[in-house]
Amino acid sequence: MSASYTGTVTTVGETMARSVTDAKAFKIFIDEPEELGGQNGAPSPLDYILASQGGCVNYMVFFIAKEMNIPIEKTEITITGKLDPAKFSGKDMNVRAGYQEIDVQICVTSTASDEEIENLKDAVEQRCPVGDNITNATPVSISMTTR
């Protein structure tokens, strides 16, 4: 049986748009662009979703390539998310609040064959935990209290 992992972070909201999250020994700063009430002082939560996908894909490319004996020198991953802000802004409750589409482009520096790279891509797509969370519904429970 594999060891399980439980991730926990704590976020403190300083203003409507700015927050600081403690993740292990690290601080993650989040802000919104000025047009959404922020100061554009840090990436938005939506940027972090894309960055999380990029970091996970990168890890999985190297990890799985090693399993498959595929040499990888480096990766360059570009991720684009398209979002209609109508729901989160309260204008149209019939559209999805999150990204409606995410496109992941992976460029690897490698001497591997096209077939090996295609097999690697398929395995990364199947095994990336962040991609799994984005692609599949994950139960989320929210509670709220006061102090």
How many helices and strands in the chain, by DSSP H and E? 3, 5
Say whether pLDDT at 39 is over 70. Answer: yes
pTM confidence score: 0.91
Task: State the pLDDT confidence band at 1, using cuts at 50, 70 and 90.
Answer: low
Whether domain 44-135 has CATH 3.30.1300.10: no
Task: Using the predicted structure, report yes or no on whether residue 7 has a pLDDT greater than 80.
Answer: yes
Q: Is the pLDDT of residue 36 over 80?
A: yes
Q: Are 96 and 87 in contact (CB under 8 A)?
A: yes
Best CA proximity match to 62, nearest among 53, 75, 51: 75
pLDDT mean over 106-135: 98
Domain positions in the chain: 7-43, 44-135
